[in-house]
Amino acid sequence: MLDALEAFVANHRDEMVQTLVELLQIESVQGHPADGQPFGPGPANALAYVLDLAARHGLRTANIDGYAGHAEYGEGDEYVAVLSHLDVVPAGAGWTHPPFAAEIHHERVFARGAIDDKGPALSTLWALIALRELGVRPRRKIRLIFGLNEESGWACVRHYFTKQPLPLGGFTPDAEFPLIYAEKGVATLQLTMRAEEDSMSPRVVRFAGGQRVNMVPDAATVEVDCLSETAAREWEQRWYKEAKQKQIDLDMHVDGTKVWATVRGVSAHGSTPDAGVNALIRLAFLLSLQPVSNATMWRFIAAQDPSGKALGIDMADEVSGSLTVNLGTGALQGGEYVFCCDVRYPVRASVDDVISRCQARVPDRWHVRLIEHLPPLYVPKDSPVVSTLLRVYQEVTGDPGEPLAIGGATYARAIPNVVAFGPRFPHQPDLAHQRDESWSLQDYLRCVVIYARAMAELAHAL
């Protein structure tokens, strides 16, 4: 079968590349809803393109109320699923190549969605087309499900599965190889405290930092009323000295009795807080050294760490490793300090345990609330899904890779008995959501072969 698949890819290479370019040229960023287009025209146009291509190659297709669609091959009521998405995040600025031109340079296609997730979605479609045209008869029906709202809330698949039955299992091509068998639970904790004012001490007038809770904040700003111009100048001198000693990137100016300051950090994904420099924590550290109102609170914030020890929630298990915490956002709002933390907890822990430990550790003045939660994903290594996909990957690539556990959240959580499987190969940089996002054409075509084998094997194993 492997030789036949590789020959199919070689014979259809030009069409595979051309359809990849055409799909990536559709600007499928979520937009304003319209009739039959709950996520706007961009995602709807991408779905229409994919379903038309599938139908032209003899696959059965369906559009489920504009929320998602599918293409399938094989017979029977039970099916194995491959779940991908056709929506993309906004392009952003600073691209070397136009983000929706899908230009090819040095055998790489440059476009938003090249690797997350329109390119991989198309590789699964070509894989299913290959199985049909090669005459492979799967034991179970194989269905490709194309979501349109993965980047903004997963309403697409929630609606889809109110109208369609769940699969026996499957995979999503939306992470990395060899495969992801465990994903930590994701909890957003909000910590609030009423600001206390001391008329004899400098006080914070404005404070804000961070854009999203799942990003390490790269900037935090504060305005402090020092009550006198002399005190403000003294504050400025002390802060510059302390920032230099601690190698903190600080911009500051004085206006009368007030000090304005911005601390710069380095952004990173919230699941890997150690990879960034948290501007909120650094600003809190500088504030904690001064005679300012709510000084105890600033010392508490300055003590926050990626392990969760300061919140009393440091824990680990043998499957997914240690809990991580990212203090993602903070602000002074209506007389209250509001901080939000992105917590990635081990698969064998519970969110209730995380919350109760946190409530027991933080000072009484703090109110702790869970505002968002994704339960962990764990599919045992000896399960048919994991063992089958791992064997296919090893046989096709020759790489004796091992399943991975991560802190990130993939589309696999949308369906039971599904894991993330590719498309990024080991030791390759993660270009998803980055400017100049791109994907190697060689990897795109190699994924067609891997995914075709995986679909056929899963249809037999489940």
Give start and end residues of each alpha helix (H) in 92-212.
Answer: 118-133, 155-163
Q: Which residue has the tokens 């992470």?
A: 175
Rounded Cα–Cα distance for residues 383 and 416 (Å):
13
Rounded Cα–Cα distance for residues 460 and 387 (Å):
13
DSSP for 248-291, written as a single string: -EEEEEEETTEEEEEEE-B--BTT-GGGSB-HHHHHHHHHHTS-
End-to-end C-alpha distance for the chain, whole angstroms? 20
The two tokens of residue 254 are 């004085």
Is 176 annotated in the active site? no
Q: Determine which helix (DSSP H) or strand (DSSP E) holds 104, and give its type and residue range.
A: strand 103-105
Catalytic residue among 72, 116, 117, 150: 150
Catalytic residue among 27, 87, 151, 317: 87
User: Residue type at 218?
Assistant: D
CA-based angle 303:319:384, to the nearest 5? 150
Q: Which residue has the tokens 């300055």?
A: 302
- Is 171 in a helix, a strand, or coil? strand
Is 150 annotated in the active site? yes
Burial of 75 (0-12, 13-18, 19+ CB in 10 A): exposed
CB distance 125 to 23 below 8 Å: no
By annotation, the residues acting in catalysis are 87, 150
